[in-house]
A and B are shown apart, each in its own frame.
Chain A
Amino acid sequence: MRTWKVTRRTEPLGWGSFLLFIMAFGISLAISGFLLFLQGKPGLGGILLLLEGGFGHGYSLEDTFLKAIPIFLCAAGVAVCFRMQVWNIGVEGQYVMGAAGATWVVLTFPDAPMWAMLPAMGIGAMVAGGLWASLPALLRLYAHMNEIISSLMLNYIALVILQRLVYGPWKDPDGAGFPHTMVFPDPAVIGTFLGRIHYGLLACLVCGLGLVFFLKRTRLGFEVTVGGENATAARYAGMPYARLVLFVFVVCGALAGLAGGIETSAVLHRLSMNISVGYGYTAIVVAWLARLRVGRIALFAFLLAGLRVGVENLQLELGVPAAFAGMMEGCILLTVLAAQFFDNYALRRVQAQPAAAGQKGAGA
Chain B
Amino acid sequence: MTFALFLKVLFSAIEQGTPLLYATLGAIITERSGVLNLGVEGMMIVAAFAGFFGLHLTGNPWLGLLAAGIAAAFMGSLHGVVCLVFQGNQVVSGLALTILGLGLADFLGAPYIGTVTKGFNPIALPWLSSLPVLGPVLFTHDVLVYISFLLAPAAWFVLTRTRWGLALCATGENPQAVAAAGLSPLAWRWVGIVVGGFLIGCGGGYLSLASSHEWTHSISAGRGWIAIALVIFSFWRPGRAVLGAYLFCGVSAFQLRLQSAGVLQIPTWLLDMFPYLLTLLVLLLSSARGKGRAAPKALGVNLEPGA
Contacts and interface: CB of A to CB of B under 8 A. Distances in A.
B232 A330 contact: no
B88 A152 contact: no
A201 interface: no
Contacts of A284: 92, 95, 99
B261 interface: no
A143 B284 contact: yes
A87 B228 CA distance: 15
Interface stretch (B3-11, B132-140, B150-158, B274-282): B274-282
Interface in B28-72: 38, 42
A285 B272 contact: no
B100 A331 contact: yes
A285 B99 contact: yes
A330 B107 contact: no
Interface string A29-60: 00000010001000000000000000000000
B201 to A, nearest CB: 17
Interface range on chain B (Cβ under 8 Å from partner): 35 or more
Interface string B100-115: 1111111110110000
A152 B306 contact: no
- Pick the most buried of B95, B97, B103, B111: most chain A CB atoms within 10 A of its CB: B103
Contact of A338 (B86, B105, B232, B283): B86
B291 interface: no
A254 B300 CA distance: 29
B276 A156 contact: yes
Interface in A213-235: none
Contact of A145 (B42, B98, B102, B287): B287
Interface in A318-333: 320-321, 323-331, 333
A39 B111 CA distance: 10
Given A6-B306, A338-B88, A341-B87, A156 B222 contact: yes
B247 interface: no
B89 to A, nearest CB: 7
A104 interface: no
A163 interface: yes
A340 B38 CA distance: 20
B92 A153 contact: no
Given A148-B38, A149-B283, A328 B103 contact: yes
Nearest to B111: A39
Contacts of B98: 330
Interface string A106-145: 0000000000000000000000000000000001000111
Interface in B147-174: none
B88 A341 contact: yes
B283 A145 contact: yes
B269 A324 contact: no
A243 interface: no
B107 A345 contact: no
Contacts, number: 140
Given A6-B305, A153-B225, A324-B103, A333 B269 contact: no
B81 A338 contact: yes
Nearest to A281: B99
B273 A148 contact: no
B56 to A, nearest CB: 15
A148 B106 contact: no
A360 interface: no
Contact of A337 (B93, B101, B105, B287): B93
A339 B87 CA distance: 10
A325 B222 contact: no
Contacts of A321: 106-107, 110
B107 A337 contact: no
A145 B269 contact: no
A351 interface: no
A337 B39 CA distance: 15
B229 interface: yes
B106 A323 contact: yes
Interface in A284-341: 284-285, 288, 320-321, 323-331, 333-334, 337-341
B124 interface: no
Contact of A160 (B78, B108, B272, B289): B272
A144 B289 contact: yes
A144 B92 CA distance: 21
B99 A152 contact: no
B86 A341 contact: yes
A139 B276 CA distance: 15
Given A145-B284, A321-B106, A323-B102, A334 B306 contact: no
A337 B110 contact: no
B96 A334 contact: yes
Interface of B: 38, 42, 78, 81-82, 85-89, 91-93, 95-108, 110-111, 222, 225, 228-229, 232, 269, 272-273, 276-277, 279-280, 283-284, 287-289, 305-306
Given A146-B229, A327-B104, A338-B81, 9 more contacts: A149-B283, A150-B280, A157-B276, A163-B269, A285-B99, A325-B103, A334-B88, A338-B82, A341-B88
Closest 6 CB pairs of A and B: A330-B100, A326-B103, A327-B103, A323-B106, A6-B306, A337-B88
Interface of A: 5-7, 35, 39, 87, 89, 139, 143-146, 148-150, 152-154, 156-157, 160-161, 163-164, 168, 281, 284-285, 288, 320-321, 323-331, 333-334, 337-341, 344-345
17 contacts: A143-B284, A148-B38, A153-B277, A153-B279, A154-B276, A156-B276, A160-B273, A160-B276, A324-B107, A327-B107, A330-B99, A334-B88, A337-B93, A338-B81, A338-B82, A341-B87, A341-B88
